[in-house]
Structure 1
Amino acid sequence: MTNFTRLTLTAASLAFALTSAAEAEDAAEWKFSGSFRTRYEVLDDQVRPNFNSNENLISIRTTLAVERRQGPLTLAAEMYDSRVTSANRRSPISTNEVNTAELVQAYAALKLDGEALGPVTLQAGRFMLNIGSRRLVAADDYRNTTNGYTGLRIDMAPAGVKTTLIYVMPQVRRPGDIDSLLDNRQYPDTENDDLVVWGGLVARPRTIGKAALEAEFFHFEEHDAPGAPTRDRDLDTFGLRVILDPAVAAWDYEIEAIGQTGAVSRGSAVNDPTLDVRAGFVHADVGYTRAGGWKPRLSAEFDYASGDKPGGRYGRFDTLLGMRRADFGPSGIYAAIGRANIITPGVRLEVTPSKRLDAFASYRAMWLASDTDSFSTTSVRDAAGGSGDFAGHQLEGRVRYWAIKDRLRLEANGLLLAKGRFLQDAPNAPQNGDTSAYLAISAITQF
């Protein structure tokens, strides 16, 4: 019996017992929802090696969800169907784009009065997670597929301190071979104790003045599975975050520092050596929102994620299961900038002309934290360190508009990456244009 089967049976037994014990006057409430998103992406002068220099991709994502609430008990299920068209064998697609007809969520959640612990919610089964800043554990939304997790979650608030604890097995999306992905074939995703994440987050509001303070810890452990060799990551990741949310006519800020220790294999072969890990990440931003009109918010940002350097330790920061979109730019067929081996200051302007319309524009200059490691998530590398450490300039913008309020939203994303010396001269850098251009237009219908 698999871990998922055991968890499902446990959740089903809990649901049956609680439903039988529910008070007669607690009528069941049903909720049905779903969405359909179509996105057209264009990329010229790809920055990542071994892919088409120019790419066009149509991504389609359909979701269907059902939820039943009765008293303190919630039963829910959600299906994701993610697929692509117009791709070929050199397209930059993976299970980040394709995962057809998958039951990403199927869980039972129980709310209790925990007295000294405050309200307590217990959740078991398959579900999505977004914890804290979402830089370590998240359910990606910009990407065509999402991250699903199978296991247990507990939320409580002792003495007003919001606490989330998890023990989960990240769902491994399948299939992984290019032919199956191009055909949008359906294989059930799996989960087992060869890949486990446990830990949690505590958050206390108004701790430093009006700012909230968060502390987090996650243990990530993976082992080889039949037909799936891994780097046997055994990582402890811990962080602190101070955040003052944006408000009209006020300053806001966010500072997050994350450290990472543990062990990882140099490669996925059985005899590859194991290295000690010492890595880190820092994010900081400060902004101000003006009152009236479009409520413009102007902010300055800085991100640092360590890279690997020669020696007996491994120094490349691993973002685990975090998202990239909010900090660095689009994923999809671009997916060049992420939380690894990067130093990048930047500025951002956000505007909200109306409840239906919002937009932002941002600029970043980017350097390598280690000039002998691959730059961010591009896989472009100069192991000798002879190509310098300046990667380039990134300009990005996004506009979103609710054409039909709460039903149909249109979105356009545009990006220019002016390649610096490293992305032009590194030995495996694609020899195409000096500037990469990305454009994505999407429409999402919700019901």
Structure 2
Amino acid sequence: MAYNTSRARLSPPARPAAPRPRKRGRSPSAAVWCASSDYVAPFEPRGRWQNPAWHGRAPQARVPSRQWIVADEASTSGGDACTIMSYNILADTHAGNHPELYLHVPWDAMRWDSRRRLILREIRQWDSDLVCLQEVDKLRGIAEDMQKRGYKCSFKRRTWDAEDGCATFWKSGRLRLLEEDCIEFSEFNLWNNVAQILVFELSGSQKFVLGNIHVLFSPKRGDIKLGQIRMLLEKANALAEKWDGIPIVLAGDFNCTPDSALYKFLSTMKLDISLHDRRQLSGGLDNSEFGLYELSRWSAAEVRNATGYSNVMVARHPLKLSSSYAILKGNSSNRGDHGEPLATSFHKKFLGTVDYLWYTRGLECSRVLDTLPLGALRRTRGLPTREMGSDHLPIVAEFVFAERTQDDSQQEDESEEEDESDEEDESEQDYDSAQKATTSKHIYFSDSDD
């Protein structure tokens, strides 16, 4: 059929349909929408995940740089130095299972590829000889990067169906691994946590034991938490004695605050558990007001978990430990009464200190990387951020090997005699510690409860 071009040109163009009059009021499509925990945020072409619950809010505040706190020259020797980092990097599985802890964190800051980049940048920045990581569930990406930078790795996964574990990295050019051991606490009915214990030789001369642990969180199971710590100290001491009494460094997330009975156990070598409620040994990691009630009775099984014996109420360990951060006093804006940082971890339901670097005689702490003031942390409204890849801050200390003298041996003997003569005073101090635990102001909710 032929097309009539003249007729087509003379035909008037079709008029568009008149728009319908818009009703005043609120359209259903304009309703305020709130994100749910099942929501998967869309991916923008620019490559950022958008959290509708975050849209329109002020961005997280930037944090100040961290400073080194250096010991007086008189308190350190000129021996070989070794820097050690402890860092809970927040397992990706834990972050995904507990979004309620990170409501104020932008979704792009919670993505693992972004957090991994920041975690590795943090590790590279401080260039530690040893790096002890906790909550490692995506080891390959971290291990590949660390290997390129001259580190070797040892990894121990938690037992049962857990996906994360502890990983220790060391510079192969400076350190040589002499012996490696680990503790699977499930073998002793102490939950599914693990600990690494390794013997290193530094620069072909100095030897030391390194422990890396992530203690169970659950505040209600203070018996298990105490048992895990006690067993780590006993195993580390046995390995040190095997290598002729070499010094020890213990790193990790101990899941207890400086006001806790567990901290007192670490620093004083013993704890009378009959003076404490097992739900309060962590020192304020729970928001329950257990102090309003009488002390709970310890069952025989709980006593055995805590002390190693079902009929012994005093837990003991053989190590004289010092805390690296408590030894080197920092700024009052970020240190507490015990000299420890006011905070090494921050999310929606906790702001406080649970990470430590402990050490024994034979070592001196020459410097520590100070933490951040509480005000700076609070302004972020919660970790991680676009600058920090975890809800924990890495802590770093440098240790110097001290020459052992005859005077040191005499001081140790005198100290042991003093410890034996202070049994009664220790019981009174334990009672005071129990009272402080009931008034702790820390609040915590974590991903590892039972």
**TM-score, reference length from structure 2:** 0.33
Tell me which of the two structures has the higher relative contact order, counting C-alpha pairs closer than 8 angstroms and 6 or more residues apart.
Answer: 2
More strand by share: 1
More helix by share: 2
